[in-house]
Amino acid sequence: MLIGYARVSTAGQNLDRQRELLSKAECEKVFEEKLTGVDRKRPKLAAMIAEAKDGDTVIITSLDRLARSTHDLFEIIKKLEAKNVKFRSLQEPWADTSSTMGRFLTTVFAGLSELERRIINERTEEGRISARKRGVKFGRKPTLTLHQRSEVTRMLEEGTPIRAIAQHFNVGVATIDRIKKTSQPA
């Protein structure tokens, strides 16, 4: 079966042109969505992937109607291929997993997508390392100031119950317990 997927980003846009093209491509069923492509939770896309079965072909009018990044595109294609479902884009003829050349080009672009993701990850990690060397601290800021933490330690040493300290500083018991664990000599 030929299954179409059409998407527009906003409610103000319409799907008429995509419907027309998918009808000309002889799609028997079309899943339509009015959501931004950035939103990964697209119910109609998920329903289409779930409903597609062995031997079906998913057709889209253009790659940007399906995904906003190469990584997302290839994740979707991977899900379809796992179900032995072919994929084809009308505007990008190279994106056709039903042909040998299309499968080859899809594999090449998937490899480039993976390379791109790894390069981004490496650059991000290099940026983190550089920031740490400059003294940038990551993570949440402490709930209590340094002075308050030393006051908590003093109160703990005096035997004040953890719950009473937590109420005094208007924080959770877990916060006081963490301070207790870090202030005790090893």
| Cα 134 to the center of its chain, rounded Å | 30
Give me the catalytic one of 9, 99, 113, 183.
9
Interatomic CA distance for residues 46 and 48, integer angstroms: 5
9 assigned to active site: yes
| DSSP-assigned beta bridge partners for residue 3 | 29, 58
Q: How far apart are the first and last CA of the chain?
A: 68
Total count of residues recorded for the chain: 186
Interatomic CA distance for residues 73 and 66, integer angstroms: 7
Interatomic CA distance for residues 52 and 85, integer angstroms: 7
Positions marked active-site: 9
